[in-house]
Amino acid sequence: MTKVDVLLGLQWGDEGKGKVVDVLSQDYDIVARFQGGANAGHTLEIDGDKHILHLIPSGIFHENKINIIGNGVIIDPYILRKEIISLRHKKIDASRNLYLSKKAHLILPSHRLLDAAYEFSKGNLKIGSTLKGIGPAYTDKTARNGIRLGEIFYSGFYDLYKALKDQHMRIISMLDWDYKGFQLDGVPYEEYESQWFESTEMLKHFRIIDGEYFINQCLNENKTILAEGAQGTMLDVEFGTYPYVTSSNTVCAGVCTGLGVAPGRVGKVFGIAKAYCTRVGSGPFPTELNDPTGERMRMKGNEYGSTTGRPRRCGWLDLVALRYAIMLNGVTGLIMTKADVLSGFKLLKICTRYRRNNEVTDVFPYGIQHENFTPVYEELNGWEQELQSLGSYEEAPQAFKEYVKFIEEEVRVPFIQISTGADRKQIFKIRQVL
Ligand code: GDP
Ligand code: IMO
Ligand code: MG
């Protein structure tokens, strides 16, 4: 019996999941998203051509792989249609191999308005949401007000839609936020709404399935499945830097509820981390560098959000957060991305502990947003050589190998792959997949 392997982010998102899933999916029959929505932006570079996926799993560029949007994902039909159309321009016909779970909830245009209204009402305490409607749609799901994709086939769909939209509008008027003139992805609300309905019509021609049965059947037939995480562990609603998090379970446990697989059917867990850290949006980030070094990382790593274009905050690698993420997910193999970005830094720092007053801790602290925790750093030598065109790990500079070894010894999980550029070819295996 096969198991579902998982690839997920160990930091604050944007670790390079899209790129690595594209590479790993060669070895799988199926790639499945299990949580999040179009707040994700997963970038793939294939022969110099760049693609950003928001909802569609990153296995879509492999013609013969099935790609599933699982029940734990929330779908904005408008954005999904746009994505399907943009793939069509690249000669990828998603209708052949994209499957959608009936139980995935829908993001209504008014969820997006509500997202903006809540952010507005929070003032300085805003989360820095991508404004894709994620928080309000997951809220409606757990409050049992949500609408699932499968409803589009039933006659009461429009009434459900109208009742929920009216409720949203009542809340928005209470929040005293004037949405007139507010555009959704540059489109006026009414137009967005009308295209949203057209999109639900289009989706009727896709394979809308009982995802949980389908996936378990595939496992029984020994098909191989890779679950693709969105966001990152430090944005998990339960364990991340709450309230500066997203609204889903980004950790491995989310695979079970987000696809309908039992815990015993989860196999390898690949955890992906950049060679340093980034974060987009508000919230604690202990190793953040608000200085020329951070700016240099942003420039060299081209650290601008794939979904919103916002500059990403940059900082040194944080092993307190990384150990925590490895523990929560049961990571069996690590993957490092953006190793190339650190070439040319004379000295590199890695945070191994936090200090608060006279106390030093290796626990990711509950009160991180209230109290001042400063990172305790180890310093390592940098390397000059560019890594982008490295043919194998053996050719890498010694200082880089020391950097890798230092992390492995600190977190006690080995690296299995290292990525040294955005293109799908710029990655090498350093160990057998564990
Ligand atoms: P995701 O959300 O985890 O899929 O990551 P994003 O796509 O939002 O951000 C990662 C960015 O880094 C994208 O622009 C990728 O093309 C790029 N990228 C991925 N791996 C590497 C790498 O090893 N080196 C460099 N320089 N860029 C990379
Ligand atoms: P991928 O899958 C980085 C951040 C937002 C904000 C917070 C809540 O590309 O790694 P939300 O829209 O979910 O209400 O935003 O989470 N965020 C991400 N940051 N990568 C992502 O996805 C993110 N998805 C959400 O910036 O701080
Ligand atoms: Mg991203």
> With a 6 A CB cut-off, is 233 part of the ligand 2 pocket?
no
CA 53 vs. chain centroid, Å, equals 11
pTM over 0.95: yes
Token representation of residue 96: 């052949």
> With a 6 A CB cut-off, is 51 part of the ligand 1 pocket?
no
The chain-wide mean pLDDT, for the chain, equals: 96
> What's the CA-to-centroid distance between 161 and ligand 3, angstroms?
30
Measure the CA–CA gap between 165 and 197, rounded to whole angstroms: 13
**Eight-class DSSP state of 353:** E
The ligand whose atoms approach the alpha carbon of 130 most closely is: 2
pLDDT band per the 50, 70, 90 thresholds, residue 181? confident
The ligand whose atoms approach the alpha carbon of 12 most closely is: 2
> What's the CA-to-centroid distance between 175 and ligand 3, angstroms?
30
Q: How many CB atoms lie within 10 A of CB 21?
A: 26
Conformation bin of residue 128: beta by default, left when phi > 0, alpha when psi is -120 to 50: left
The ligand whose atoms approach the alpha carbon of 43 most closely is: 1
> With a 6 A CB cut-off, is 134 part of the ligand 2 pocket?
yes
Measure the CA–CA gap between 267 and 140, rounded to whole angstroms: 31
Q: How many CB atoms lie within 10 A of CB 49?
A: 10
Name every residue whose Cβ is closer than 8 Å to that of residue 377 and which is 6 or more positions away in sequence: 316, 349, 350, 351, 352
Which candidate, 101, 99, 22, places its Cα nearest to that of 62? Answer: 22
> With a 6 A CB cut-off, is 42 part of the ligand 1 pocket?
yes
> With a 6 A CB cut-off, is 235 part of the ligand 2 pocket?
yes
Name every residue whose Cβ is closer than 8 Å to that of residue 252 and which is 6 or more positions away in sequence: 6, 8, 266, 269, 328, 329, 330
Is the CA virtual torsion 54, 56, 57, 58 positive or negative? Answer: negative
What is the structure's pLDDT at 179?
A: 85
The ligand whose atoms approach the alpha carbon of 250 most closely is: 2
Helix (H) or strand (E) holding 17: helix 17-24
Helix (H) or strand (E) holding 240: none
CB 16 within 8 A of CB 49: no
> With a 6 A CB cut-off, is 272 part of the ligand 1 pocket?
no
- Which residues have CB less than 5 Å away from ligand 3 (the ion)? 14, 41, 306
> With a 6 A CB cut-off, is 240 part of the ligand 2 pocket?
no
Comparing 209-223, 297-311, 319-333, the range with the smallest average pLDDT is 297-311
pLDDT band per the 50, 70, 90 thresholds, residue 390? confident
| Choice among 5, 22, 42, 111 that is catalytic | 42
> What's the CA-to-centroid distance between 434 and ligand 1, angstroms?
23
Active site residue 14: yes
> With a 6 A CB cut-off, is 404 part of the ligand 2 pocket?
no
> With a 6 A CB cut-off, is 298 part of the ligand 1 pocket?
no
Main-chain phi, psi angles of 10, to 5 degrees:
-105, 0
Measure the CA–CA gap between 47 and 379, rounded to whole angstroms: 37
What is the structure's pLDDT at 433?
A: 62
> With a 6 A CB cut-off, is 337 part of the ligand 1 pocket?
yes
Summarize the confidence of residues 295-318 as an average pLDDT.
94
CB 434 within 8 A of CB 333: yes
Locate the ligand 1 atom nearest the alpha carbon of residue 50 and give its number: 16
| Choice among 14, 22, 115, 236 that is catalytic | 14
> With a 6 A CB cut-off, is 39 part of the ligand 1 pocket?
no
Main-chain phi, psi angles of 307, to 5 degrees:
-100, -40
Q: How many CB atoms lie within 10 A of CB 216?
A: 17
Q: Radius of gyration over alpha carbons of the chain, in Å?
A: 21
H-state helical runs in 280-345: 292-300, 319-329
H-state helical runs in 123-209: 134-142, 157-174, 189-203
> What's the CA-to-centroid distance between 396 and ligand 1, angstroms?
20
In degrees, to the nearest 5, what angle opens at C-alpha 196 toward C-alphas 192 and 199? 135
Active site residue 362: no
pLDDT at 434 over 70: no
HSE on the CB side for 319, CA within 13 Å? 20
Residue nearest to atom 14 of ligand 2 (CA): 129
> What's the CA-to-centroid distance between 33 and ligand 3, angstroms?
14
pLDDT tens for 71-107 read 999 999 999 999 999 999 999 999 999 999 999 999 9
> What's the CA-to-centroid distance between 422 and ligand 1, angstroms?
6
> What's the CA-to-centroid distance between 130 and ligand 2, angstroms?
6
pLDDT tens for 115-154 read 999 999 999 999 999 999 999 999 999 999 999 999 999 9
Q: Percent of the chain at pLDDT above 90?
A: 95
> What's the CA-to-centroid distance between 16 and ligand 1, angstroms?
4
Locate the ligand 1 atom nearest the alpha carbon of residue 427 and give its number: 23
HSE on the CB side for 141, CA within 13 Å? 24
What is the structure's pLDDT at 432?
A: 67
User: What are residue 351's DSSP bridge partners?
Assistant: 318, 377
pLDDT tens for 21-41 read 999 999 999 999 999 999 999
Residue nearest to atom 25 of ligand 1 (CA): 421
Name every residue whose Cβ is closer than 8 Å to that of residue 278 and which is 6 or more positions away in sequence: 11, 12, 14, 297, 301, 303, 312, 313, 314, 315
